[in-house]
Amino acid sequence: MTKTTENMLAEVRNLAPDIMSRVAEIEALRQLPSDLVEALRAIGIFRMLVPRGHGGLELDLPSALEIIRALAKIDGSVGWNAMIGGGGGIFAPLLRREIYDRVYENGPDTIIAGSVQPAGTAEKEGDHWRGNRRWPFASSHHIKVRNAVVPAAHFFDLEAGLPCVPGPLYEAVRQFLPLLHAAFDIGVAEGALDDLIELAGSGHQQQRTARPMRDSEAFQFELGRVSAELRAARAFFQAQVESHWRHALAGTLKDDTLLIEGTQAGIWIASACVRVVDACFALAGGIAVYDSSPLQRRLRDLHVAAQHATVHQRQYAAAGQAVFTQARPQVEYRHANGASRRDGGGVGQLVEK
């Protein structure tokens, strides 16, 4: 871990008491207070993945994910905004260079958010497009535009686009997205487990129980089980991050197999973290349902995060299809007319090799 990352994590820890004291305010506002956003900006959250050539920190991916995880552990809304605002730095290089330079002409702390749902329309008109309708889930907001004129030069291709700046962070954006989500999920689940342990450590005794939570063998059993599941999720996350980053450094990350592999990891981690938070909420008992309990916020945050299309369980289908295709035996059949084909089945004469 670099000195820059260590310093950023130390500043995140220093900011934690202020964040935790303002969770009710954040909840009521339904957005981060502007001074808290500025505090995150001062730490470098929104420039951590911006190239050094444009004034950014250009952290390696594992370091950036560690910072997102640390913020999500403190509070889900802060972690999510850090993931979106900081993660936007890997999208912008898909723009044309002259447009990209304009994005950062006033400095590297530009906050980028957007929606990938094809809900609106864009009609080609000469050298520009005309946008209409409403795009949902641009992080904290829906965006509605009416007859918005967008120059064609402002468009980029998320799937096939090539970055306008060099570096391992910018060559394969889609492959990194599930890991950004996984960092958030791990952080929220870690926070929930800490909340539960703090509650039990306070001597809390639930109604109709013979002893405090911390002295209950049933509680200790469940705590051990939940802790093991979180450790498994964290280990899977770390292994996948290390693998993806090795490929990024080697220039081999932009690969459909690795996209599926990362997505598969992101989905499993999200699901495991949901199970962890659900268990922590249930073990806490009735006290967890109050607004004053951080566990009910963790529960809501993680369930919403796991519904995101990037890590939703329906994406397992693509992984399953890939596994089936790779594992299906390929044999060559020769038909009576002399034609041959290679596949996993069919009627014909098997040609032995």
Beta bridge partners of 133: 145
**Does domain 177-311 correspond to CATH entry 3.30.1330.10?**
no
pLDDT at 120: 87
pLDDT at 332: 52
Angle at 120 between CA 144 and CA 181, to 5 degrees: 85
pLDDT at 318: 86
pLDDT at 234: 98
User: Cα 214 to chain center, whole Å?
Assistant: 33
Residue ranges per structural domain of the chain? 177-311
Helices 61-74 and 217-250 pack at an angle, to 10 degrees, of 150
pLDDT at 337: 57
pLDDT at 62: 97
Cβ atoms of residues 250 and 296 within 8 Å: no
Q: How far apart, in Å, are the Cα atoms of 211 and each of 102, 265, 276?
A: 63, 40, 24
Below-50 pLDDT ranges, the chain: 333, 344-353
Q: What does the alpha-carbon distance between residue 166 and residue 9 come to, in Å, rounded to a whole number? A: 26
- Mind giving me the DSSP string for 260-280? HHHHHHHHHHHHHHHHHHHHH
Q: What does the alpha-carbon distance between residue 292 and residue 30 come to, in Å, rounded to a whole number? A: 16
pLDDT at 122: 87
Angle at 162 between CA 48 and CA 94, to 5 degrees: 45
Within a 10 A sphere around the Cβ of 55, how many other Cβ atoms? 14
